[in-house]
Amino acid sequence: MTDHLPVNSRSGVSRLYIGKSTLLKVFLLVGIAAVSAFFIWFSFRLIDELEENTRQQVARYAALWEFAINQSGAGAELQFIFDEIIVKATFPIIVLDRGGQPVQWRNIDRITPDQTDDRSLESLRRMAEKMRSSGRVFEIGYAGETINYLCYGDPAIIRQLEIMPFIQIGVVVAFLLVGLIGFHNIRRSEERLIWVGMAKETAHQLGTPITSLLGWLELLDPNNRAELTTGEQENLLRDTRSNMAIDVQRLQRVANRFGQIGSVPDLKPGDINQLVAESVAYYQRRLPFEGKGIDLQSDLGSIPEVNVNPELFTWVLENLIKNALQAVDPKSGRIQLATSIHPDRAMVRITVSDDGQGIPPAAARKIFRPGFTTKTRGWGLGLTLVRRIIEEYHGGRITLVRSRPGDTVFEILLPTATTS
């Protein structure tokens, strides 16, 4: 669902997405071909069985007719066989004399048994010739000579079955087209949501350090320092320069983050504990603005190095911490980030837990979808980016382990540097 973020067409990530799209199309085409082939095979198998049953039935009619002729030679028995047995057949029948002229017929479209005009007889001769050329004929002999030809055609159900596979394929293709159109519209909708979300996320990421820089610039105005002593002014300038450097570094980090979205990130062995500690420290400094009563802590275990991109991974942590801050009580909330080694020793586990109100079960299934948010003013991109950074860029996995009032836990698993 996150395949529509802007990508570099020459990057490995782009090739990965193109590969996924191609695989999906190939899968659909192969699926349609398989379903169509099955429909055709099954239908023609039924047709073959029905044709064989029809042939056996006509063979019995012909044998019975020939038996009656050779036993009695009387026309009454022959007419009885035709009227009481053959007439009840459900397939077309044309009886020809030895000269190839129609003498009796049943179940012929648009020609009733009592139509003997030249035009009808000519149509019957042409139909009988097609039946004979396709092998649908039995000779009826008397005294060693052929006196009649019993020609037959396919029952109506066989003619219907012959077109059924194509009707079924047409239905499958129609449903496929409707599905593809719907899928395309969903993708376009997601793309719009992601672009809007990216724009708002950019504004949000840049807004805090820019606002801070504007405040520091205002402090540098000589008019605002006129009443301070020389020593106070020097301390103020030193602190201001230090804070401005922090904000400029923050802007640089934001620019680096957005610059790496869509390209293959540079992963190097790194200390996850250090990145967790930096992110916790960053938000601890902001706690007076987020909620003075919130307790934000870290519990760092002994873990091996992980191949990581620090800029993108700290973005993940900041998104998760920010969501937790918005979920907990600002007067008594508790948030904890913990690291540990996974039991299989090949993965590092990072958990972000809080005692907020939790995520409703219906929403928990959608939290990683682009554009989905439970916040009034949210734009539903944070967790989409988080999943993409963890799973597609770092080869890890992020899951919502549980979420209920007072206990929400997100878990990140990353392969260790020795197993990546």
Mapped to the 3 state alphabet, what secondary structure does 330-394 carry?
A: CCCCEEEEEEEECCCCCEEEEEEEECCCCCCHHHHCCCCCCCCCCCCCCCCCHHHHHHHHHHHHC
Q: Determine what percent of the chain is predicted with pLDDT higher than 90.
A: 24
Q: Domain for residue 31, yes or no?
A: no
When pLDDT is averaged across residues 117-131 and rounded to a whole number, the result is 93
Question: Tens of pLDDT along 35-63?
Answer: 778 878 888 888 888 888 888 988 888 88
Distance of CA 350 to the CA centre of its chain: 29
pLDDT confidence tier of residue 182, bands split at 50, 70 and 90: confident
Count of structural domains, the chain: 1
Residue 401: predicted pLDDT:
92
How many angstroms separate the CA atoms of 296 and 183, rounded? 42
Q: Domain for residue 371, yes or no?
A: yes
Q: Domain for residue 192, yes or no?
A: no
SS3 10: coil
In whole angstroms, how far apart are CA 415 and each of 83, 310, 411, 420?
A: 84, 15, 13, 6
In the chain, what is the straight-line distance between the N-terminal and C-terminal CA atoms, in Å?
A: 25
Greater pLDDT, 276 or 22: 276
Question: Tens of pLDDT along 74-96?
Answer: 556 666 666 666 667 778 999 99
Alpha helices, DSSP H, located in 9-74: 12-71
CATH of the domain at 371: 3.30.565.10
55-60, long-range: CB within 8 Å, 24+ apart, which pairs?
55/136, 57/89, 58/89, 58/91, 58/93, 58/136, 58/138, 58/150, 58/152, 59/138
Q: Domain for residue 45, yes or no?
A: no
Q: Domain for residue 135, yes or no?
A: no
Side by side, the strands of the sheet bearing 145-152 are 102-106, 93-97, 145-152, 137-142
DSSP 63-131: HHHHHHHHHT--HHHHHHHHHHTGGG-SS-EEEEETTS-EEEEESBTTB-TT--SHHHHHHHHHHHHHH
Question: Tens of pLDDT along 379-410?
Answer: 445 788 888 889 888 999 999 999 999 999 99
Residue 15: predicted pLDDT:
44
Q: 219: Cβ–Cβ under 8 A, 6 or more apart, which residues?
A: 225, 236, 240
* Residue owning tokens 């301070």: 228
Question: Tens of pLDDT along 193-240?
Answer: 655 556 666 666 677 678 778 877 877 777 776 677 778 778 878 888
Q: Domain for residue 289, yes or no?
A: yes
In the DSSP assignment, the letter for residue 249 is H
Greater pLDDT, 30 or 255: 30
Q: Domain for residue 28, yes or no?
A: no
In whole angstroms, how far apart are CA 141 and each of 87, 145, 149, 152?
A: 21, 5, 9, 17
DSSP 177-190: HHHHHHHHHHHHHH
Residue 149: predicted pLDDT:
93
Domain that holds residue 303: 266-415
Q: Is the dihedral of CA 242, 209, 334, 367 positive or negative?
A: negative
Q: Domain for residue 241, yes or no?
A: no
Q: Parallel, antiparallel, or unpaired for β 334-341 and 295-300?
A: parallel
